[in-house]
Structure 1
Amino acid sequence: MDTDKKPMRADARRNYERLLEEARHAFAVHGVEASLEEIARRAGVGIGTLYRHFPTREALIETVLREGFDTQAAVARELLDSPEPLNALKAWLSGMGEQSARYRGLPELMVDVLNDETSPLYASCHAMRDQVSQLVERAKAAGELRADVTVSEILVVLHALSWASEHLSGDNRLERLLDLVFAGLRAS
Structure 2
Amino acid sequence: MSDRQRADARRNYARILTVADAEVAAHGAEASLEQIARTAGVGSATVRRHFPTRQALLEAVSHDRVEALRVRAQELAGTSDSRTALLTWLGELIDYCVTARGLATALSYEHDADPIRGNSCAATIEEAAAPLLRAAARDGRMSADVTPSELITLVVGMALATEHATDPAARANRLLAITVAGLSPSDDHPAALRSNQ
Give the secondary structure class of the aligned counterpart of 2:109: helix
What residue in structure 1 maps to residue 108 of structure 2?
110
> Which structure 1 residue ranges, 4+ long, deviate > 4 Å from structure 2?
none
Asked if 2 retains the 8 angstrom alpha-carbon contact of 1:28 and 1:104, the reply is yes
Matched, 1:64 2:65: no
More helix per residue? 2
Give the secondary structure class of the aligned counterpart of 2:101: coil
Matched, 1:178 2:176: yes
TM-score (norm 1): 0.81
Question: For the structure 1 residues 146 and 21, does the alpha-carbon distance in structure 2 shift closer, same or farther, using more than 3 Å as the test?
Answer: same
Letter of the 1:83 partner, please give it: S
Question: Equivalences for 1:109-188 in 2 at 5 Å?
Answer: 110-112=108-110, 116=113, 118=115, 120=117, 122-170=119-167, 172-173=169-170, 174-187=172-185, 188=187
Asked if 2 retains the 8 angstrom alpha-carbon contact of 1:58 and 1:119, the reply is no
Query: Shift in Å at residue 113 of structure 1?
Result: 5.7
Question: For the structure 1 residues 42 and 26, does the alpha-carbon distance in structure 2 shift closer, same or farther, using more than 3 Å as the test?
Answer: same
Q: Per chain length, whose mean CA-contact separation is higher, i.e. which structure has more relative contact order (CA < 8 Å, sep 6+)? A: 1
Asked if 1 retains the 8 angstrom alpha-carbon contact of 2:107 and 2:122, the reply is no
Letter of the 1:128 partner, please give it: I
Q: Percent identity, aligned pairs only?
A: 34
Question: For the structure 1 residues 107 and 117, does the alpha-carbon distance in structure 2 shift closer, same or farther, using more than 3 Å as the test?
Answer: closer
Deviations 1:47-103 (A, max 9, x none): 122123223222211111111111111111111101111121112222222333332
TM-score (norm 2): 0.77
CA-based RMSD of the aligned residues comes to 2.7
Q: How many residues are paired up? A: 181
**Counterparts of 1:104 and 1:69, CA distance in 2:** 12
Asked if 2 retains the 8 angstrom alpha-carbon contact of 1:23 and 1:39, the reply is yes
Matched, 1:35 2:35: no
Structure 2 residue runs without a partner (length 5+): 188-197
Letter of the 2:130 partner, please give it: S
Letter of the 1:147 partner, please give it: A
Asked if 2 retains the 8 angstrom alpha-carbon contact of 1:31 and 1:106, the reply is no
Deviations 1:94-153 (A, max 9, x none): 222233333258448612169x56264523312221221221111011111123433333
Question: For the structure 1 residues 140 and 20, does the alpha-carbon distance in structure 2 shift closer, same or farther, using more than 3 Å as the test?
Answer: same
